[in-house]
Amino acid sequence: MALSERTTAGESKGKTPAPPVEPCFVYILSCSDGSFYTGCTANLQDREQAHNEGHGAAHTASRRPVRLVYWERQPSWPAARAREAQLKHWSHAKKKTLVDGDVERLHSLARRRT
């Protein structure tokens, strides 16, 4: 199926199909080795279970069990994908600060390093 056909059918370019309806969530999982995994989904509980059963990403499959530690509701699937991409580029320290809810420290980590 061509990309344009997949887009019309509601599928994403990657392996995870776009959810047919909202809500959309961006989430962060804490893996057993202390690393974080960021993704997006329409159902947080089902997605966490899929990762813990080894049906999620390769990163989480070898680092089980995983635990859902953060999520944000997004207004649309494209918004969720954009936020996921943004968070994936963040450092581990910055993600941990987001998970901890430390807004002051998050702002200091967001400053451009010179």
Beta bridge partners of 25: 41, 73
Give the Cα separation of 42 and 35 in Å (integer).
23
Q: What integer is the mean pLDDT of 5-30?
A: 66
Residue position matching structure tokens 């990163």: 59
Span 48-106, pLDDT tens digits:
999 999 999 999 999 999 999 999 999 999 999 999 999 999 999 999 999 999 988 98
The structural domains of the chain, with segments of one domain joined by +, span 3-89
What is the side-by-side order of every strand in the sheet holding 36-41? Answer: 36-41, 24-30, 67-74
Tokens standing for residue 54: 């080894």
Tokens standing for residue 64: 């089980």
CATH architecture of 3-89: 3-Layer(aba) Sandwich (3.40)
